[in-house]
Amino acid sequence: MLLIGEVAERSGLATSAIRYYEELGLIEPTRRTAGRRLFLESAPRRLRAIVAAREAGFSLDEIRRLLDSQAQGTEDWVGLVEAKIAETRTRIKRLRAIETTLRDSLTCGCRAWDDCPILLP
């Protein structure tokens, strides 16, 4: 069993973030002893999974669905992941277009951002 401080150290998260995820029901202590939260040894791994999902752009509700042990591997779960992959590809495409526009703006000769025909066609 781990105290919240140990979970924080192993997961790289602040204790306030762990308490927040606890409030949301994404993680829960196994019990409390003398008012102190005790977590399973697997808690830091679950928290790292939550952080990875957040970085991938999943909402908190989607993360709840991703981590639901009953849902993992189901069509709903696969659909959720596939939808995020498609969304990520769309974001990457848009970011590449933005990068190209910004690079082009460096060589267009304009002296004012708000007069650049490349940025503001």
User: 77 vs 19, 58, 60, 64, 85, CA distance in Å?
Assistant: 26, 12, 14, 11, 13
Among the candidates 56, 77, 103, a domain finishes at: 56
Quick: pLDDT tens for 51-61: 999 999 999 99
Q: Supply the pLDDT for residue 121.
A: 65
Query: 2 and 27: one domain?
Result: yes
In a domain, 61, yes or no: no
Dist CA 50 CA 68 (whole Å): 12
Q: Supply the pLDDT for residue 119.
A: 73
The number of domains in the chain is 2
Dist CA 81 CA 110 (whole Å): 43
Phi and psi (nearest 5°) for 107? Answer: -115, 5
Q: Mean per-residue pLDDT for 40-46?
A: 94
Quick: pLDDT tens for 32-41: 888 888 899 9
**Where in the sequence is the domain holding 44, given as residue range(s)?**
1-56
Q: What angle do CA 27, 33, 35 make, to 5 degrees?
A: 80
Choose among 26, 31, 88, 36: nearest CA to 62: 26
Can you tell me which residue has the tokens 């008012």? 35
Query: 82 and 52: one domain?
Result: no
Query: 81 and 117: one domain?
Result: yes
Give the H or E element holding residue 114: none
Average pLDDT of the chain, as a whole number: 89
Query: 45 and 88: one domain?
Result: no
Q: Supply the pLDDT for residue 41.
A: 93
Backbone region of residue 18 per phi and psi (left: phi > 0; alpha: psi in -120 to 50; beta: other values): alpha
Query: 85 and 49: one domain?
Result: no
Its pTM surpasses 0.85: no
Q: Mean per-residue pLDDT for 69-84?
A: 85
Q: Supply the pLDDT for residue 74.
A: 85
Query: 81 and 48: one domain?
Result: no
Q: What is the CATH number of the domain that holds 36?
A: 1.10.1660.10
In a domain, 63, yes or no: no
